[in-house]
């Protein structure tokens, strides 16, 4: 599975949201598995969209054929777009499905890992972070993905923003020490995204 993560600064909110609904045209695209997104809770005006594809080949085919037609509806409504493509490595909790209907927020963490620390970082994700997240009330499911250049995406879906906030307040610092995150990670950019049901495809 391929995971695509997009973030951008929106300069015309109404136009952007109108265009976002046109992505319903993804339904029926070969290899498309699901898409959702919304607004950053920490940075008003920053939009995040996450989509899932069966494979890189299906995604490349879509980009070559239909993408520009669907994207035209949002032309001029945003700036500073950043796009990341990540290959699925493993589930956070079991049985990941790319659906958004039961989630209130998505937490996205984009990590750039130091040279020589990738194996340790991945192991800590599996042995320390995943069990802690999976056992947290309100955590629904998630996925861990990798891109070339020691880049990783940790994406988790939560039933409610309050439940994620409680997990963050009570556990993240302690888990970070246990996993030696500072030794592994050179840079981390994250967001808690308030999902907009109208953006779900």
Q: What is the pTM of this model?
A: 0.95
Q: Where exactly are the structural domains of the chain?
A: 2-199
Q: How far apart are the first and last CA of the chain?
A: 17
Structure confidence by residue, pLDDT tens digits, 104-156: 999 999 999 999 999 999 999 999 999 999 999 999 999 999 999 999 999 99
Q: Which CATH architecture is the domain 2-199 placed in?
A: 2-Layer Sandwich (3.30)
When the pLDDT of each residue in the chain is averaged and rounded to a whole number, the result is: 96
For residue 148, give every residue at least 6 positions away whose Cβ sits within 8 Å of its Cβ, in sequence order, or none.
Answer: none
Let me know the angle formed at the C-alpha of 69 by 100 and 10, rounded to the nearest 5 degrees: 60
């Amino acid at each position: 599975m391929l995971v695509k993560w997009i973030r951008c600064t929106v300069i015309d909110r109404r136009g952007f949201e109108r265009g976002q609904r046109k992505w319903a045209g993804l339904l029926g695209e070969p290899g498309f598995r699901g898409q959702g997104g919304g607004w950053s809770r920490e940075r008003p005006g920053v939009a995040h969209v996450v989509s899932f594809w069966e494979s890189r080949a299906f995604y490349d085919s879509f980009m070559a054929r239909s993408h520009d037609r669907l994207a035209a509806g949002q032309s001029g409504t945003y700036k500073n777009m950043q796009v990341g493509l990540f290959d699925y490595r493993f589930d956070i909790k079991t049985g990941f499905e790319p659906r958004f209907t039961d989630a209130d927020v998505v937490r996205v963490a984009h990590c750039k890992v130091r040279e020589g620390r990738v194996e340790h970082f991945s192991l800590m994700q599996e042995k320390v972070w995943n069990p802690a997240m999976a056992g947290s009330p309100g955590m629904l499911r998630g996925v861990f993905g990798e891109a070339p250049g020691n880049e990783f995406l940790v994406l988790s879906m939560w039933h409610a923003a309050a439940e994620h906030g409680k997990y963050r307040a009570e556990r993240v610092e302690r888990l970070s020490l246990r996993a030696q995150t500072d030794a592994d990670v050179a840079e981390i950019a994250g967001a808690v995204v308030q999902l907009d049901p109208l953006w779900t495809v």
